[in-house]
Amino acid sequence: MLLVQITDTHIEAPGDLAYGRFDTAQNLRAAVEAINRIQPAPDLVLHTGDMAHHGSSERYRYFLEIVADLKPPLFAVPGNHDNRGRFREVFKDTDWMPDDGTFLHYVIEDHAVRVICCDSVLEGRVQGGFCTGRLSWIDEQLSAVPDKPTIVALHHPPFGSGMSGSSSNGLVEGGSAFAGVLRRHSQVVRVIAGHAHRPFTCAYGGTIGYAAPTTCYPFALEMGPEKILSIINEPPAISIHVWLEDTGDGEPGLVTHTVPIGNWGEPTVLLRDGKRVLPES
């Protein structure tokens, strides 16, 4: 099973640049091309929120236009920049978007790894959280299938980043309760999130937490006392989560790769079928 995670695409209106500098639409086009070239072909793509910079219908239509060429099926959870009503409208024809209920959460069951897609949005707030209703729903989904490896996906990293000027330092509501739910379910192999606009990992709730890099504009790693949040021209990137039957100790497990998006030139092949292609230097 191979899951590609894209996040924080922050699509602007056609022709507009984010902060006058970042062509988020072009970056998403490049991500689509990169995903379509991945071998073996991914089973699915999961967007972990902040699809549009402002959740307007125009921007969502533009997003759909850009991802129309994406070969694997696309799933998504909302972020703080998204609008739940319009988000529901965008994906209303899919078989995974819930028809009713307040929260846009659901489970992807078709693969070797289950994916529990959560809605961590607190209406009108940048930070994320879980109310008792959402925590109960997550607990129920995990209790229903205790023996299958499971990824739990949400927009807001529930673990701290150490970035002093960022809102990516855990959930402001229900964070410790969420960690408690995860600790009761040992089948959770990863908690994956977006929102931080740069990749980092953390032990959380008895599992591994991973915040994914963005395809739009990365936040600089600022950990100083000035509490600065700044954007920086580092490469946009996607994440690849691949389930391996043996990760080296005879046991299966989930491996996560962070892959920058861009034109890095043709690769130089060193080995083919274990045999050296280039002469020793």
Whether the CB-CB separation of 48 and 7 falls below 8 Å is answered with yes
Stretch that binds Fe ion, among 30-38, 47-55, 87-95, 258-266 (CB under 5 A): 47-55
Count residues binding Fe ion (CB under 5 A). Answer: 5
Per rule CB under 5 A, is residue 158 in the interface with Fe ion?
no
Sign of CA dihedral 152, 238, 97, 95: negative
Residue from 5, 27, 80, 239 touching Fe ion (CB under 5 A): that is 80
Whether the CB-CB separation of 131 and 138 falls below 8 Å is answered with no
CA atoms within 13 Å, Cβ hemisphere of 122: 14
Stretch that binds Fe ion, among 55-63, 76-84, 97-105, 246-254 (CB under 5 A): 76-84
Whether the CB-CB separation of 5 and 48 falls below 8 Å is answered with yes
- Work out how close the CB of 203 gets to Fe ion at its nearest, in angstroms, rounded to a whole number: 22
Q: Which is nearer to Fe ion, 43 or 50 (CB)?
A: 50
Per rule CB under 5 A, is residue 119 in the interface with Fe ion?
no
Q: Report d(CA 31, CA 35) in Å as an integer.
A: 6
Mask: binding to Fe ion, 169-208, rule CB under 5 A, as x and -? --------------------------x-------------
Per rule CB under 5 A, is residue 157 in the interface with Fe ion?
no
- Work out how close the CB of 81 gets to Fe ion at its nearest, in angstroms, rounded to a whole number: 6
Q: Which is nearer to Fe ion, 80 or 83 (CB)?
A: 80
CA atoms within 13 Å, Cβ hemisphere of 15: 1
Per rule CB under 5 A, is residue 50 in the interface with Fe ion?
yes
Q: Give ∠ CA 81-68-59 in degrees, rounded to 5.
A: 30
Q: Which is nearer to Fe ion, 177 or 229 (CB)?
A: 229
Contacts of 184 (CB under 8 A, 6+ apart): 139, 142
Amino acid at 271: L
Per rule CB under 5 A, is residue 79 in the interface with Fe ion?
yes
Stretch that binds Fe ion, among 42-50, 132-140, 241-249, 253-261 (CB under 5 A): 42-50
Per rule CB under 5 A, is residue 8 in the interface with Fe ion?
yes
Q: Which is nearer to Fe ion, 1 or 172 (CB)?
A: 172
Dihedral in degrees, nearest 10, Cα atoms 147, 4, 84, 98: -40
- Chain residues binding Fe ion by CB under 5 A are 8, 50, 79-80, 195
